[in-house]
């Protein structure tokens, strides 16, 4: 069964709607900036892509707000946008066949961090009574189900940086088998607490600050890349059977046609060419297409030394002689790495890039690494590119490689 994308919702560093985020990505406007909070002075690299101007009170009533981590606030806002966009008109029986599939790598880490700071740093025996409800990974999915009255499967996926790709893929599987009438699928993340950011620094995967231009600190595939930059936000898609969407005259943004999942078992943090290539091939197989039919690629493209060269080799392994002629976009240079939510944001940007016939830019790529020698759409969007089918890759610590294939509507 075909699966249509009928709703898009975004709260991100690039903007508070799908349209705004896409416009910023298309223009190459980076949302990465230096952090001015006093506590962030303890960071070796105090840069991140933050969601600015997010007015929680506009989206959520005050009593509920007290129980929501920033991660859940983003999720609720993005899901409400997506449902308003889709206007699915669910009947009561259909609500029982409507599910929520959410990816998050760190859940309500800000609330947990605050609780630890109160308990250990301030030596207080009293922490917020809702800390558990705010910190648990399944809180965003639970609140989305409550908000929209969806009583089908309510599932949370936590596979680090591929979490929301897995969430979208697993929702697609249920819908394609005819098990559901609708799904909200996507991801959310709010990892910009001091403890979390110091932990990421300790892994030595975080970019050094480009003092001349902090906004360009993340440089995927560049020779002088130094690592990733953390970001926050949420992105949600409403998925439904194509027949249902067409019958009700819905605007269809695009279609999910494939999903590949393959786990590296060599090392918990070191990426592997074979695992990434296997996930791409699995996605193509499930989409029932071959490599010659892919018009563009959304790369994982974190800007780390190891990932970008390995991903380049994996693309070559799958696409062979065509690899160098496929436009490849790495938008983390602009919105940072939203960890478990990144795949969903990149899915939204990918779907809109197909609709608008534009290959999004990989910014801050002044000189490519010799090991990264493909067409990364460097430094400016490429307009007028017909993209019918797009492959989007997400690779994660723990080895869970997830790849989605999208097709343009029509």
372 has catalytic annotation = no
Annotated active-site residue in 71, 137, 148, 161: 161
Residue 16, token pair as written in the block: 């508070």
Annotated active-site residue in 16, 59, 337, 364: 337
148 has catalytic annotation = no
Neighbours of 290 (CB within 10 A): 10
Task: Report how far residue 358's alpha carbon sits from residue 360's, in angstroms, rounded to the nearest whole number.
Answer: 6
* Gyration radius from the chain CA atoms: 20
Residue 324 is given by DSSP the state G
Annotated active-site residue in 137, 300, 335, 364: 300
Task: Report how far residue 210's alpha carbon sits from residue 208's, in angstroms, rounded to the nearest whole number.
Answer: 6
Residue pair 166/147 in contact by the 8 Å Cβ criterion: no
- CA distances in angstroms from 51 to 48, 138, 230, listed in the order given: 10, 22, 12
Of residues 66, 10, 7, the one with CA closest to residue 231: 10
Task: Report how far residue 44's alpha carbon sits from residue 279's, in angstroms, rounded to the nearest whole number.
Answer: 35
Task: Report how far residue 59's alpha carbon sits from residue 228's, in angstroms, rounded to the nearest whole number.
Answer: 30
71 has catalytic annotation = no
For the purposes of burial, counting CB atoms within 10 Å of the CB of 211, is it exposed (0-12), middle (13-18) or buried (19 or more)? Answer: exposed
Q: Which residues are catalytic?
A: 161, 300, 337
């Amino acid at each position: 069964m075909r699966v249509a994308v009928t709703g898009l919702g975004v709260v991100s560093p690039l903007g508070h709607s799908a349209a705004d985020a896409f416009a910023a990505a298309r223009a190459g406007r980076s949302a990465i900036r230096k952090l001015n909070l006093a506590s962030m002075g303890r960071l070796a690299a105090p840069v991140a892509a933050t969601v600015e101007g997010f007015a929680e009170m506009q989206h959520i009533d005050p009593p509920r707000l007290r129980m929501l981590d920033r991660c859940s606030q983003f999720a609720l806002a993005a899901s409400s946008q997506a449902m308003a966009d889709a206007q699915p008109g669910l009947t009561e029986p259909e609500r029982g066949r409507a599910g929520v599939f959410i990816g998050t790598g760190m859940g309500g880490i800000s609330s947990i961090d605050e609780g630890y700071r109160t308990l250990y740093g301030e030596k207080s025996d009293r922490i917020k009574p809702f800390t558990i409800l705010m910190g648990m990974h399944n809180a965003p999915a639970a609140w989305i189900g409550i908000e929209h009255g969806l009583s089908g499967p309510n599932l949370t996926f936590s596979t680090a940086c591929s979490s929301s790709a897995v969430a979208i893929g697993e929702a697609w599987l249920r819908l394609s088998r005819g098990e559901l009438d609708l799904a909200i699928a996507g991801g959310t993340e709010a990892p910009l607490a001091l403890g979390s950011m110091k932990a990421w620094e300790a892994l030595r995967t975080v970019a050094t600050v480009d003092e001349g231009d902090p906004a360009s600190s993340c440089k995927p595939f560049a020779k002088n890349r130094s690592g990733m930059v953390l970001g926050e936000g949420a992105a949600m898609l409403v998925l439904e059977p194509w027949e249902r969407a067409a019958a009700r005259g819905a605007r269809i943004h695009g279609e999910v046609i494939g999903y590949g999942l393959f786990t590296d078992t060599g090392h918990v943090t070191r990426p592997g060419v074979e695992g990434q290539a296997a996930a791409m091939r699995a996605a193509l197989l499930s989409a029932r297409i071959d490599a010659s039919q892919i018009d563009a690629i959304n790369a994982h493209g974190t800007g780390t030394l190891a990932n970008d060269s390995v991903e380049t080799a994996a693309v070559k392994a799958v696409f062979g002689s065509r690899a160098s002629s496929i436009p490849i976009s790495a938008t983390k240079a602009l919105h940072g790495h939203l960890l478990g939510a990144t795949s969903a944001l990149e899915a939204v940007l990918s779907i809109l890039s197909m609709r608008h016939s534009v290959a999004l830019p990989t910014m801050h790529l002044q000189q490519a690494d010799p090991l990264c020698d493909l067409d990364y759409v460097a430094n400016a969007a490429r307009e007028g590119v017909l993209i019918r089918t797009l492959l989007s890759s997400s690779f994660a610590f723990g080895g869970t490689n997830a790849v989605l294939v999208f097709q343009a509507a029509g």
